[in-house]
Amino acid sequence: MSSPLELARPEIRALKAYDHAAWEPSLERLHANELPWAASDDGMCEGLNRYPEPQPRALIERLAGLYAVPPECILAGRGSDEAIDLLSRGFCRAGEDAVIVCPPTFGMYAIAARIQGADVLRVPLQVAQDFALDEDALLQRCTSNVKLVFLCSPNNPTGNLLSEPAVLRIAASLAGRALVVVDEAYVEFAGQPSLARHVARLSHLVVLRTLSKAHGLAGARCGTLIASAEIVSLLRKIIPPYALTQFTIETVLRQLEPVRLEPMRVRVAELGAERAWVAAHLRDCAGVVRVWPSQANFVLVEFHDATSALAKARAAGLLLRDVRSQPGLERALRITIGTPEQNRRLLRALQ
Ligand code: PMP
């Protein structure tokens, strides 16, 4: 089987990574030009006068346990946004390579590609098939300059899971040709197993997870790229050495203690019940044309008059996401499931 690194930019493959200050906690640090004293009100376990451990081992092991993959398959960064950016920079040659995205979908895949100077090829999801992937069109579009295929499951902003057999067929067909990146930012809300279990077998599969959604840690900025050890090692050369702050490291280690995982699952179940309530009541609203089924923490809603719905929500103090610029969603808004009080306030405003 060919190595996924053959798809990477040759100059990144050849790059020697920055030699950051050695991490040897048993010795005292006179090698990193830090101040020897912590600020008097520095409340961290490790003082903020010190640079944090790059890709901290305890954090990587905790994430590996959470996602049930080996630690060498984990790269932790500032949200999955950073992982998307690293993939574009590591695999796409500016002015030559391209990525495939399947709109309507999360906008950062195309933005990261554009920043890198890569072309963006669009293979729309099939609106009439509940936003299913168009497998044949995607495989046809995947010419030799396509290095990354971004799939989002559950998809933002439509809320549907992509068919796992379809994703696996695409991954199998594209082995040696392009990386298939499955963004599972919302998968906890779908109650479905992650595709990360296939990474050991499919060296061209990359899975993105985040603590920003179900774990309620969007402000901590911690996302995880799960891929073959070769891909992880390559991307470690590009990520800034101290990407994760000491605040993030300590917060995430505390929040991911095993005792905290059960309360997280309870919150996700509550959110699922609230999502069903919101969807059912939205369907009864006069101004609503349809509410698409969702496996995420939001619902996509088509309105007769989306401008008026946005204004009514705003008058009730609530912001909704206008997704009307996306293909096939000309009258749609994305509504995040809030607290029961917020959801009821929204429903009153829209009725
Ligand atoms: N992927 C998807 C599908 C998203 O919706 C988002 C955030 N809205 C992200 C990735 C980025 O999340 P983060 O950087 O917080 O991990």
Both 264 and 250 in one domain: the answer is no
Cα 9 to Cα 15: distance, rounded to the nearest angstrom: 10
What angle separates helix 229-236 from helix 79-91, to the nearest 10 degrees?
A: 90
Q: Cβ(103) to ligand 1 under 6 A?
A: no
| Domain termination residue (choose one: 231, 256, 281) | 256
Q: Name, in order, each residue with C-beta under 8 angstroms of 313's C-beta and a sequence gap of 6 or more.
A: 319, 320, 346, 349, 350
Q: Cβ(97) to ligand 1 under 6 A?
A: no
Residue 171 has pLDDT above 70, yes or no: yes
Both 195 and 286 in one domain: the answer is no
Residue 76 has pLDDT above 90, yes or no: yes
Mean pLDDT of the 28-36 span:
96
| Strand pairing category for 98-101 and 146-152 | parallel
Residue 167 has pLDDT above 80, yes or no: yes
Both 213 and 269 in one domain: the answer is no
Both 63 and 151 in one domain: the answer is yes
Both 110 and 243 in one domain: the answer is yes
| Domain termination residue (choose one: 236, 256, 276) | 256
95, two tokens: 């002015």
List C-alpha distances in Å: 274 to 128, 271, 318: 27, 5, 17
Both 199 and 151 in one domain: the answer is yes
245 Cα: distance to centroid of ligand 1 (angstroms): 19
Tell which one of 80, 189, 225 to mutate to probe ligand 1, the residue whose CB is within 8 A of the most ligand atoms: 80
Q: What is the pLDDT of residues 313-339, one digit of tens each?
A: 999 999 999 999 999 999 999 999 999
Residue 181 pLDDT: 98
Q: What is the pLDDT of residues 116-151, one digit of tens each?
A: 999 999 999 999 999 999 999 999 999 999 999 999
C-beta of residue 256 within 8 angstroms of C-beta of residue 318: no
Both 243 and 321 in one domain: the answer is no
Both 250 and 267 in one domain: the answer is no
Tell which one of 160, 210, 248, 252 to mutate to probe ligand 1, the residue whose CB is within 8 A of the most ligand atoms: 210
Both 145 and 34 in one domain: the answer is yes
The model's pTM is 0.97
List C-alpha distances in Å: 41 to 38, 264, 334: 8, 31, 42
43 Cα: distance to centroid of ligand 1 (angstroms): 29
Q: What is the CA radius of gyration of the chain?
A: 22
Number of helical H runs and strand E runs in the chain: 11, 11
Q: What is the pLDDT of residues 246-289, one digit of tens each?
A: 999 999 999 999 999 999 999 999 999 999 999 999 999 999 99
Residue 1 pLDDT: 59
Number of domains in the chain: 2
Q: Name, in order, each residue with C-beta under 8 angstroms of 43's C-beta and a sequence gap of 6 or more.
A: none
- If we measure between CA atoms, which residue out of 177, 186, 119 comes closest to residue 153? 186
Both 9 and 140 in one domain: the answer is yes
Residue 183 pLDDT: 98
Cα 240 to Cα 221: distance, rounded to the nearest angstrom: 15
Cα 118 to Cα 145: distance, rounded to the nearest angstrom: 10
152 Cα: distance to centroid of ligand 1 (angstroms): 10
Residue 2 has pLDDT above 90, yes or no: no
Q: Give the distance, in angstroms, between the CA of residue 96 and the centroid of all CA atoms in the same chain.
A: 25
Q: Which residue segment(s) compose the domain that 324 sits in?
A: 260-350
Both 30 and 107 in one domain: the answer is yes
From the alpha carbon of 105, which atom of ligand 1 is closest?
3
What are residue 51's phi and psi, to 5 degrees? -65, 145
| Domain termination residue (choose one: 227, 256, 285) | 256
From the alpha carbon of 106, which atom of ligand 1 is closest?
3
Q: What is the CATH number of the domain that holds 188?
A: 3.40.640.10
List C-alpha distances in Å: 326 to 1, 4, 67, 148, 307: 38, 32, 32, 21, 15
C-beta of residue 234 within 8 angstroms of C-beta of residue 12: yes
Q: Cβ(53) to ligand 1 under 6 A?
A: no
Q: Cβ(106) to ligand 1 under 6 A?
A: yes
Q: Cβ(159) to ligand 1 under 6 A?
A: no
